[in-house]
Amino acid sequence: MPDKKISIRDIAEKSGVSVATVSRVINQNGRYSAETEARVRQIMEEYNYVPNLLARGLRQQQVPEIGIIVPDITNEFFGRLVVQIESELFEHGYTLTICNTNEDRMIERRYLEMIRAKQMCGLIRISHEHLREEELIDIPTVYLDRIPENIKYTGQCISVESDHEQGGYIATKELIKQGCRNVGIVLHDAEISTKAHEMRYIGYKRALEEANIEFDVKKVIRVKRADCQNGGRAALEFIERRGLPDGLFCTSDLLAVGALDEFLKHGVNVPRQVRIVGYDNISLAKMMMIPITTISHPEHTMVDITCRYFLSAFAKEESELQKKKRIVLPVELIKRETA
């Protein structure tokens, strides 16, 4: 490790120019001679100089850093979003700071304060269903995946989400297309933070209606958590009490995984007796003994739009994104072996 704490002044002295000139070289604004540049660069190299970003940020009243509020990066979907956004922004000179809230509102607030305190220039929120006034920050913001119901599209913000209603619809429609007339649903009863599963449920009902299949509440099982255990329990409930459906739409892959395992354990043939469609396209879904048919989110597009929004916002461009405001993206059916 070379000497510590070399400042722009040191570089200026050693290269025999003023700090302003060094600053110009660093920021490549062109107002210097080729020889000067060469000399300064050489000295910077030699002393392994790195500009102090705190000083720069303080001076410029801004830092090329974007915060992302995310409930839990160990959730595969969020993790992938974060990594892709990070990598894309990094290429453009922006840092992404991950703020993992664990769904805890107080932690989220403390992170919001930090984002302000660090003078970050942008914010991504995978947040709550309802935002309070004091939970807003006046910097370019992208609401991602989980869109607050009371969002006001007045400030500098957009929202990007996938079309859950359509997802529920095409999942169910696929089952019907494959001949199912008795389609059940295992539904994550998410009271907080997102209406996504309810929208999928609405899509499910629309598909039934369109096919003239009567909706039957006996075919609906609501669970409190979207995990394998609950998926298994729901399957058992169908087997032991409610009667086997010939198609089952699970509003999350974890539920589908649990249900599939349980069916197989009880000798129910999937997809012969019961066809299954999951949701989210988690990696587990394709690793099962019988790979699970599922709905995949337009991850890449979500990432792309998010990053493009910031770049245009920082460039003070009036992009089409700024106008659109509320962006809803189509999802895709991934056909595998359970349906």
Partner DNA sequence: ATGAAAGCGCTAACAA
Partner DNA sequence: TTGTTAGCGCTTTCAT
Residues in contact with DNA by CB under 7 A are 5, 7-9, 16-21, 23-24, 26-27, 30-33, 35-36, 51-52, 55-56, 58-61
21 contact, one of a copy of itself, DNA, none, CB 5-8 Å limit per kind? DNA
C-alpha dist (Å) from residue 241 to 26, 220, 231, 245: 72, 13, 15, 11
For residue 43, CA distances in Å to 17, 21, 46 come to 11, 13, 5
136 contributes a contact to a copy of itself by CB under 8 A: yes
CB of 75 to a copy of itself, least distance (A): 9
CB closer to a copy of itself, 202 vs 299: 299
Decide: is 272 part of the binding site for a copy of itself (CB under 8 A): no
Residue 185 DSSP SS3? strand
Contacted by 38, from a copy of itself, DNA, none: CB < 5 to 8 Å by type:
none
Decide whether 36 or 312 has the Cβ nearer to DNA. Answer: 36
Binding part of the chain for a copy of itself, among 24-32, 89-97, 186-194, 330-338 by CB under 8 A, reads 89-97
Residues 6 or more apart whose Cβ sits within 8 Å of residue 10: 47, 49
Q: From the list DNA, a copy of itself, none, pick the one residue 323 interacts with, judged by a Cβ distance below 5 to 8 Å according to partner type.
A: none
Other C-beta atoms lying within 10 Å of the C-beta of residue 89: 23
Of a copy of itself, DNA, none, which one does residue 244 interact with (CB within 5 to 8 Å by kind)?
Answer: none
The answer to whether the beta carbons of residues 262 and 277 sit under 8 Å apart is: no
Q: What angle do CA 55, 57, 63 make, to 5 degrees?
A: 150
Sheet of strand 157-162, all strands in order from the earlier edge strand to the far edge: 95-100, 63-70, 120-125, 141-144, 157-162, 326-329
Closest contact distance (angstroms) between CB of 28 and DNA is 10
50 binds a copy of itself per the rule CB under 8 A: yes
